[in-house]
Structure 1
Amino acid sequence: MFNIDATLEYIESVKNTFLSSTDSREISARIMSIKKKRKDSKLYLAVIGEFSSGKSTFINALLGFRLLKDAVMPTTACATYIESHARFLAIEIVFNDGSKFKCSESNFDAIREYILAKYSINCIDIHQVITVVTSDQKVARCVSKMNIKVPGNRIPKNIVIIDTPGFNPGSSSVDNHQEITKDVVENIADAAIILTPQEQAMSATLSRFLKANLKRCLHRCTYVVTKFDLPADDTTRNEILDYARQRIEVDLGISNPRLYGLSAATMLPVKRVPLGKEYIWPILQNIFANFMKMSWTQLQSSKEYVLS
């Protein structure tokens, strides 16, 4: 790995001599972006997936409670930034019309009145506000920026989870979701987790999206087959993982991908373990917990590599 500071200093010293004014301005902007990222002590982990890949459940499992609700249709047209270790649940939201709100569990009247007046939806608490702005299609697609701070310490204090917009191949409802996801992975995230559901592991549409938009970032992504409690037996689970690994290697050209089969549902409170899952449930819980520990460790060491 090369010396980032020395490299930036060298580029700055020669860009005006060897580059056009337009290229020089573009390089200057890129240098400023890198310097800004170096000063940011936070580590950014993007979570990517097609619609119905289990993205909301997966993020809820990382947090240890149900924050995000599964949507019936692709909704949020912006990336959502989630941090933990807050004293109380709080959100910052910017809508496409320029309306801005900062609210908490004890102070959400302004955004409640805004949503009621504009969309005729009454939110009785901040949890319903989050549900509406992330899973109600007519509201969520009008959100341009959202940050959520949650209590709890399941994820390290300096790590930010980025929930990227889910995309539904062939649907006009996703607007610019793919471009937003691409920008997050290329310019903001220090690492990314790509989710693919076990019933359609590494689908052709997902592979096409990844190759077309994230090709130069795929080597630093982790791949997760979700809903891994649903296959009937261990043999089927192993077959699904083998198939997903083959598709990643052949379709994406990634040798020895970091691939895991996980069940986020096992990490969330349930009244009772589903019938017939009593044996596999604690095993999948342990696998997910180990995956989390490993992910935080890997993320800590990835930032300098990404900048390089």
Structure 2
Amino acid sequence: MLNFERTKEQLIQCLEEVKKIANDKEKSMIEAIDYELDKLLKNRFNLAVVGQFKRGKSTFINAVLGEKIVPTAVVPLTSIVTVIKYGPRLKVTVYFLDGSKEEITVKELDKYATERGNPGNEKNVKEIVIEYPSEFLKKGVTLIDTPGVGSVYRHNTDVTYEFLPKLDAAIFLFTIDSPVAQNEYEFLKDVRDHAVKIFFVLNKIDYAEEEDVKEALDFAAGVLKEKLGYEEIKIFPVSAKMALEARETYDEEKLRLTGLPEFLSKLDEFITSDKGRALLLSRCNGALRFISRLRFDIELEAGAIRTPVEELEKNIDVLKKKMKEIEEEKKDVLLVFDGESRELLAQFNAEYEKFKNS
């Protein structure tokens, strides 16, 4: 049986060693490692809501929370990553690229988080953090509202891709009017490289008849199986708009018809039983990416004879040792992971073997 705390401590030690080797050579990597260490120390699990633009991601998040918190609109809107975590009271803080921060009201979010209020991120916002007293968030889950990809605003797509290495799991939204477009499953491939678990949601089912919803579900499942190699796939049909309305009016019968309760039940089941293992596995993968990048850089230096060979060889030996330790920890995690998770990790394992034998 996996000893969560012991495995977590070993992974933290490995990341600290990798950080020492990175030293001042890779400032961006050091910042990324610090982020990973903070996540592990706080057991913070990043669950990102992702998809093409105008799939209803912000409305979906509001429905999950049961209240209109993040801005929504009929045009591509979200332009900044918004982090939603547990807090004893509603609080919104804007963090800027220069290191400063500002507390704002929910009504002011539009001025900083949207393309309408902050075009091209002219206000230099790094991220927005919302604290909210939700029992779901209290379980150590951080919900991430990401800008939609594929819109005319290239900046929004770049912001989402930059965040992908930080996520642990994802909720991927399709819509009934466009179940799976070409660029959609291309983006999904990139999401799958980082998320150890992906939940699929077909949104806006209130726009179609029941037969059309079933046809869209079958079509989306067929495309995902064919293009991405999934053997079995579960797609949850949901109307986020109706679910939010039902939660705001306490209409339980209407809420039941939206499909959201079934999805939240499965999500809660995952969070309760597998969140800890998924976090460790996700961060093991992240640590291996750091090592791969560092090893590549060091080998380049060796080729250019910029550093004494003995020092470079020592660093490579340390990286190989840490890589082996992380691989062993990953095996421990996999022993208690279910078959679906193993399938999701198959591609990573193949890439890892290529690197190990290089």
Q: TM-score, normalised by structure 1?
A: 0.72
Match of 1:101 in 2: 102
Q: Which runs of 5+ in 2 are unaligned?
A: 285-358
Among 154, 162, 175, the residue aligned to 1:174 = 154
Match of 2:181 in 1: 203
CA–CA distance in structure 2, aligned partners of residues 15 and 84 of structure 1: 29
Letter of the 2:197 counterpart:
R
Percent sequence identity over aligned pairs = 24
Among 226, 237, 255, the residue aligned to 2:203 = 226
Worse-matched range after superposition: 24-33 or 136-145: 24-33
Aligned 8 A contact 2:179 2:220 in 1: yes
CA–CA distance in structure 1, aligned partners of residues 199 and 22 of structure 2: 39
1:242 equivalenced with 2:244 (yes/no): no
CA shift, 1:38, in A, is: 2.0
Match of 1:129 in 2: 108
Letter of the 1:127 counterpart:
V
- Relative distance call for 1:236 and 1:37 in structure 2 (3 A) is same
CA–CA distance in structure 2, aligned partners of residues 199 and 174 of structure 1: 23
Match of 2:70 in 1: 68
- CA RMSD after TM alignment: 3.9
More helix by share: 2
CA–CA distance in structure 1, aligned partners of residues 177 and 195 of structure 2: 22
1:160 aligned counterpart, secondary structure: strand
CA shift, 1:100, in A, is: 3.0
How many equivalent residue pairs? 274
Aligned 8 A contact 1:229 1:263 in 2: yes
Letter of the 1:193 counterpart:
I
Match of 2:280 in 1: 304
* Correspondence list, 1:275-286, <5 A: 282=257, 284-286=259-261
- Relative distance call for 1:6 and 1:56 in structure 2 (3 A) is closer
Among 128, 131, 149, the residue aligned to 2:131 = 149
CA–CA distance in structure 2, aligned partners of residues 14 and 132 of structure 1: 39
Letter of the 2:118 counterpart:
V
Letter of the 2:259 counterpart:
L
Match of 1:117 in 2: none
Aligned 8 A contact 2:81 2:145 in 1: yes
Match of 1:214 in 2: 191
Aligned 8 A contact 1:76 1:141 in 2: no
CA shift, 1:161, in A, is: 0.6
CA shift, 1:200, in A, is: 0.5
